[in-house]
Structure 1
Amino acid sequence: MTDRTPPAPSLAQLRALIAVADAGGFGEAAAEYGVSQSSLSEAVAKLEALAGRPLLRRTPGGTVPTEAGARVLTHARAAVQAAADALLAAQEENGGLSGTLRVASMRSAATHLLPPALAAFRARHPRVTVALLDSDAGGGGAPAVRSGRADLAVILADEAPDLRLSPLPPDEYLFVAPAARGTHPVTLAELGAAPLILPPHLDSCYRRIRTYLAARGVSLTAVSEVEQDSVILSMVGHGLGVTVMPRLALLPLPPGLVALPLPEPLARPLALAALPHRAGLPVIRAFTQAVLSHLPVPELPAKEPGPLPVPVSAPPLN
């Protein structure tokens, strides 16, 4: 019987396609990965011959996948990742882990939640390199995990039910105003009366805060949208309005400001996310355990609202 199984692409060909698509061009991919442009072109051409159609096309803005190429890329990433995972699965936590672990995180969590776990993990598994990726600048942590650009990510738990989630302490939202306001309790009327400065409307924090206020019948006097947290806090400090911001994004609280609990609690649910079929890999499991074992102790709420305390500094990221 004749074997009619069609030829399969090689991992090298799939890696070439991924490299060019991610870099936006053959020359850019060649420079980034230290290979010749001709070898990438040859690998992609052979892959396109196997597929029977173009997978990439050149545009004025760079080289982008065709519709077929976008579909192929999804499986190419999974195939390349699965090949690497085959060896990762053979490792033993007690026998010494090695390799590179890519962890995407929003800046606030990377600053205040992850450093204790990073220090403990590095001490126990010195042959694993942990690369931190900025999910604020990279389109989000959940998409990075799904695409294989990150192995783990700190994300908002209610935005990725398809991923394997390890819950982290919720991040409480606080009302922030000039310190001259004092520390008496915040009211819903106050939230509606003062000019409110928030992140852009496409930001999840904006949507969460507006939903919270709308559910309580708060009609806002004025809303300004500002992209950078530091700019928002500076504007509040200069009396241009007030804001509502997650606790982790506030630390350390700039001088001249006061941060107080909202009239009714609001928090963003954080979680460490991985693809379900990869969550059991020894290196991913070990890092997840390190994070869960070294979480900062949550502060108990005061009986009377007071200014946001400044925590002990976390170990620096190297």
Structure 2
Amino acid sequence: MSRDPAPPTPTLSQLRALIAVAQAGGFGEAAAELGVSQSSLSEAVSRLEAMTGRALLRRTPAGTVTTPAGERALTHARAAVQAAGDVLLAAQDTGGLSGTLRVAAYRSVATHLLPPALATLRRAHPGVRTVLLDGDTEETDAELALRTGRADAAVVVQGQAQGLHLTPLVYDEYLFVAPAARGDHPATLEELSGQTLLLPPGRDQCHRLVRHYLERQGVSLAGLTENPQDSVILSMVAHGLGVTILPRLALHPLPGGLVTLPLPGGLSRPLALAALPWRAHLPLLRAFTETLLQTLAGRISGGHAAPAPEVWPPALY
């Protein structure tokens, strides 16, 4: 009795080639990043396309991009490559972890929340290499980096991320920031409406959250001006060129010439550590999550390594 031949199965190297070229935007760029020849990458992708019977990549004046079929295949290619690596991670135990942990986070979070926990993790597990990814831009959005396999964990705003395993971390309060000459009397909605408001770009999560708050409060956005750098925004405010609304973590340390005040009605972002549900309990991710929670609990309860209380999130969930 004869059997039907098994369908061809892509190799991991072919899948990695597709991912690399799609991410780099070209065969030459991907070859340079991987340290392989361009011809080997081209051959691997060609064999993958032959198996699917469809073009997966397309060359354009702006670079090499995925076709619709390629975009669908890319999602599964990333999952397959990640799953292959997870076989080794899953076999580890907490007694001796190794591997690379990539965490995507907003710059303010990466500056103040994550380094102490990563340092503690490294001391406990010297074989673990950690990488912090900028999660503030459209190209490196923290949640997108997690979903596409570029990050193993990401700090996100709870309530805005669906279908992920979330571990609550801290509330990060948003504050009204104005020139110090204004004084410290409470901020009002009328004051917010009558000022030049300086915010990060519209693609930024901080911008979207603040904009939603202001629209809900009926505050006019006619004077809205965007700038990608928090430091530039704060300098402009200190020189009387407008006001801003930023989270506490982005304001530490607070430059001179500024005053910070609570917003009318209050606004905060509930930060959570996100992981893909089927990866959240890998020993490496579990160890990082536990270390981060322990580090935050120690800081908030008065650990001497914490920033000053007025610029630290008030409490765990």
The CA distance in 2 between the partners of 1:27 and 1:240, in whole Å, is 46
Asked if residue 49 in structure 1 is aligned to residue 31 in structure 2, the reply is no
Shift of the 226–86 alpha-carbon distance from structure 1 to 2, 3 Å rule, reads same
Q: Give the counterpart letter for 2:101 in structure 1.
A: L
Structure 1 residue 69: Cα displacement: 1.1
Which position in structure 2 is the counterpart of 1:213? Answer: 214
Q: What 5-or-longer segments of structure 2 have no aligned partner?
A: 303-307, 313-317
Quote the residue 2:186 is aligned against: 185
Which residue number corresponds to residue 238 of structure 1?
A: 239
CA contact (8 A) 1:193 1:220 kept: no
**C-alpha distance in structure 1 between counterparts of 2:218 and 2:309, whole Å:** 27
Q: 1:310 to 1:267 in 2, by over 3 A?
A: closer
Structure 2 contact 173–247 (Cα < 8 Å) conserved: yes
Query: Does 2:69 align with 1:68?
Result: yes
Whole-Å separation in 1 of the counterparts to 2:69 and 2:221 = 47
* Cα distance, 1:70 vs structure 2: 1.1
Separation in 2 of the partners of 1:227 and 1:180?
A: 25
Distance 2:230 2:188 in 1: 23
In the alignment, is the contact (CA less than 8 A) between 1:176 and 1:243 conserved in 2? yes
* Superposition map of 1:107-146 within 5 A: 107-137=107-137, 138-146=139-147
Residues 268 and 5 of structure 1: is their aligned pair in 2 closer, same or farther, counting only changes over 3 Å? same
Superposed CA deviations along residues 219-239 of structure 1, whole A, max 9, x for unmatched, are 456222222211111111111
- Cα distance in 2 between the residues matched to 1:213 and 1:42: 53
**CA-CA distance at 1:149 after TM superposition:** 0.6
How far apart, in 1, do the equivalents of 2:61 and 2:118 lie? Answer: 42
TM superposition shift of 1:153 = 0.6
Whether contact under 8 Å (1:260, 1:308) holds in the other structure is no
Distance in 2 (alpha carbons) for counterparts of 1:31 and 1:289: 37
SS in structure 1 of the partner of residue 59 of structure 2: strand
Matches within 5 A, 1:123-272: 123-137=123-137, 138-219=139-220, 222-272=223-273
Bigger drift between 244-253 and 184-193 goes to: 184-193
Moved beyond 4 Å, runs of 4+: 307-311
Secondary structure of 1:186's partner?
coil
Q: In 1, distance between residues paired with 2:290 and 2:104? A: 17
Contact 1:165 1:274 in 2 (8 A): yes
Q: Counterpart amino acid of 1:297?
A: I
In the TM superposition, residue 201 of structure 1 has moved relative to its aligned partner by 3.0
Contact 1:171–1:247 (Cα < 8 Å) also in 2: yes
Alpha-carbon distance in structure 2 between the residues aligned to 1:87 and 1:63: 32
Q: In structure 1, how many angstroms separate the alpha carbons of the residues matched to 2:66 and 2:234?
A: 41
Aligned residues: 303
1:297 aligns with 2:300: yes
The 1:195–1:23 alpha-carbon spacing in structure 2 relative to 1, beyond 3 Å, is closer
> Bigger CA drift: 84-93 or 209-218?
209-218
Aligned: 1:78 with 2:82:
no
Name the aligned partner's letter for residue 106 of structure 2: M
Q: 2: distance between equivalents of 1:57 and 1:188?
A: 51
Using the alignment, how far apart are the partners of 2:254 and 2:105 within structure 1? Answer: 21
Q: Which runs of no fewer than 5 residues in structure 1 stay unpaired?
A: 300-306, 312-318
1:194-218: per-residue Cα shift (whole Å, max 9, x none)?
Answer: 3222223333322322332333333
In 2: Cα distance, 1:37 partner to 1:219 partner: 54
C-alpha root-mean-square deviation of aligned residues, in Å?
1.9
150-159 or 190-199: which moved more? 190-199
Cα distance in 2 between the residues matched to 1:41 and 1:221: 51
